Amino acid sequence: MIWLPLGTTAANVVSYNDTGLSASKLYHYRVRAKSALGDSANSNTASAITQSSAGSASPFTDDFNDNLRSPNWVLGTIAAPGNYDSSVRVAEANQRLEITPRVNWGASAYSGYLTASSYDFTGLQATIKLVQAPSGTVAEAVLTVGIDTSNRYIIGVVGNQTHFTYVLNGVWSQTFETYDPAIHKYLRIRHDPSDDGIKFETSAEGLFWTLRRSIPRNVAITNVKIDLVAGSYGSVPSPGMAIFDDFRLEASLPPLSPAIAISTRELQSAWPSFAYLPETVFPAGPYHGQTCKLEQ
């Protein structure tokens, strides 16, 4: 196994795109910081498997910037089709997906974007930026990956809580955290092919992720749909609006394929001096990240 140098970035650059990779291959990446005084040790290794070239429909991303519903989406929900309500306003507007739950409506009423096609979610992840959750204790916004109302994975916000949920044969299992709009800005459901697990993750900026719940995959994921849905299951006087942006369905793992992010924290572990001195005053900066990869 030989580490192959990929190149040296400009100073203070924090990302590197490695493109043109082979499908279904495991890649490992590491970086080191360089300065006039020499190099740091190598960082930890970040690994990812590139997406399979086989499968059903191709993954896609949607930034909603065209304010038009693309053919990748239809209106609908994975859960309880009977709770779908066309009076819940769904608008791709202001370069976002905006969903307005019904006001003072006593019954369950939901709508949103549902993928038009089914996907083999193996080795994939679905990410959404939740710009704004709706208001009210029985109003919610969710990202769902699943087969139907009885078999699915959900990450979403209800009232003041963020929940990480699976529904298996109609039986619910949930964990909760207090919803923090800044910390839970990005929500992600990820299939991890290394352990065939499902990872529920959040991120403040969409780059570095915090694992909130990890479970063995228990729902079949080779033929699933994904939805972005909002609504309410009781009367809400002022539900406000759920606002989604920057949907991504793409190959799984830390954090993207083909780009791999290695955090400053990992650089600190490679070069402990980083922990004690700001980068701007460390001797002989600025630093250039040297990226290496290993193909297996």
Q: Which residues bind Ca ion (CB under 5 A)?
A: 63-65, 95, 245
Tell me the closest approach of the beta carbon of residue 105 to Ca ion, in angstroms: 28
In whole angstroms, how far apart are CA 22 and each of 50, 119, 203, 257? 7, 21, 28, 11
For Ca ion, the closer of residues 62 and 201 by Cβ is 62
Measure the CA angle with vertex 190, ends 189 and 195; round to 5°: 140
**Nearer CB in complex with Ca ion: 98/245:** 245
Helix (H, G, I), strand (E, B) or coil at 162: strand
Nearer residue to Ca ion within complex by CB, 12 or 67: 67
Tokens of 172: 């619910």
- What's the closest the beta carbon of residue 247 comes to Ca ion, in angstroms? 9
Closest distance between Ca ion and the C-beta of residue 96, in Å? Answer: 5
Q: Which is nearer to Ca ion, 248 or 293 (CB)?
A: 248
Residues 6+ apart with CB under 8 A from 242: 98, 99, 100, 101, 130, 132, 133, 134, 139, 141, 230
State the Cα–Cα distance between residues 74 and 153, nearest whole angstrom: 19
Closest CA to 289 of 45, 32, 47: 32
* Minimal CB distance residue for Ca ion: 95
Report the nearest approach of Ca ion to the CB of residue 99 (Å): 14
Residues in Cβ contact with 51 at an 8 Å cutoff, skipping those fewer than 6 apart: 23, 24, 59, 123, 124, 250, 251, 257
Shortest distance, position 230 Cβ to Ca ion, whole Å? 17
In this complex, which beta carbon is closest to Ca ion, that of residue 245 or of residue 266?
245
